[in-house]
Structure 1
Amino acid sequence: MILTAKAAVAGVMGWPVGHSRSPRLHGWWLDHHGIDGAYIPLAVPPDRITEAIRALPALGLRGANVTVPHKEAALRACDHVDPVARRVGAVNTLVVGADGSIEGRNTDGFGFMANLTADRPDWRAASGPAVVLGAGGAARAILVALADAGAPEIRLLNRTASRAEGLAAELGGPIKVIPWEDRAAALAEAALVVNTTTQGMGGQPALDLALDRLPPSALVTDIVYTPLHTPLLTAAAERGNPVVDGLGMLLHQARPGFEAWFGRMPEVTPELRRFVLESL
């Protein structure tokens, strides 16, 4: 559609930003709902991220998503930060208020949980222990989301044990650090397995994880979505475990930002998934 002078504009800040699927995703929603708006890529070098964020109100933007490597720096540039983003220690969504103030939010955990429940409506975090592999930025958001959703125990494993221990000490709650070499045994009685590492991504080695101890009812998910069906998900599906791919997390985490900027909470549909998959 043709934009008017009153068009609502948002974007995504990253360095680089050309790989981001967000303009395609938000553009589809804008077209689908007939909204007078635009969503644009904003290539911002790391040494100018604070300046770029503070310029959003003057430029008339409603806000922006923030992707690597800016998520932690963005938190420090905001006037207000929501409690979830504060606990996660990173911001992925910026919302410009009517008074020109900038609020930082983190919707990664929302996207993760919404992806699981949309695909497996009967699954509940409280149904049993969760096993989380990796202790990077995505893991932080997922750990907070699982704890808030009532997971009775979260078994955290990372190749560098000190990083996992530091994360567990910082976040608290039901997180229990388990040595990486005990990862196969950690699957016993688990209700959920989450891979947040890059292992299994295209060009990376597959995750070395034997699933023999994993209950057949346990849900297995991977936040990687290139390829859509990682070796972990393929192996889990072959033994009968329910699996959820990582594309839905990308799609669902975008919904709260779209609502804040453009006034409508969008849905994740099969048509949208196909449209985004065409660009992968």
Structure 2
Amino acid sequence: MDLNTVEAVHIPTRRDEVWPVGPSDAILAGGTWLFSEPQPQVSRLIDITRLGWPPITFSDDGMEIAATCSLAEIGSLTNTLPSDRPDWPAAPLFGQCCAALLASFKILGSATVGGNICLSFPAGAMISLASALDGTVTVWSADGSDYVVPIGEFVTGAGSNVLRSGDVLRSLWLPAHALRSPTAFRKLAPSPLGRSGVVVVGRRDEDDGQFVLSVTAATVRPHVFRFPLPPTAGEIRTALAAIAETEFTRDAHGDPDWRRAVTLTLAEQIRRELT
């Protein structure tokens, strides 16, 4: 879609060139959502793709994923990590989360990790990935400082997050202890080609035996539950019961009571798979 209110495109190549970012400016990376509907409030685009961020940086402590990294690059890790990092059995989760987005190869090749997270929609594929793997995001502020936020605190509701005016999401960090953990993934939509109505991911840490369960898409923000040992069915039921009714997503893809019931069913499947 043409954005006929845009009068200028700014392409910074250094951090200090990004700002100022005004109320009528929009950060552009992949642009798959930005160009999908009218943006009458936007008069200038700030294209951050020339800042030279490596898409993915590996270390023994984990991996840093640039905000400008495409979802196609993330999804491909499912195929490359087993040989590159055989000690990271969480590899299947990358492809599973990207597939849950239900996007064409063109969208996956352009859409970015940062855009998916910053939109903060309940069914955000990268929010599901980051929630399951203890992800944190690094944000650049206009004053030159950085701050780091766990993904569960970054997303505050459907389409809302903690970003302040002028903030730019720099990267997503996934720690090695989570990547070393076997995972189990469940996704359900009310129709074969429908948007995710429920995404539940389980993880059993190899380091300390901790069991982690994340719920996204079904809820307006991520919910992550931690158990020191593999939980019983009753413990799973009690934990999920703590999610308030207002926290469940209500839209054309499923009512809250359906999402709550399905979340419990999928969580129990995951509990059995990882126990």
- The two structures have a TM-score, normalised by structure 2, of 0.29
- The two structures have a TM-score, normalised by structure 1, of 0.28
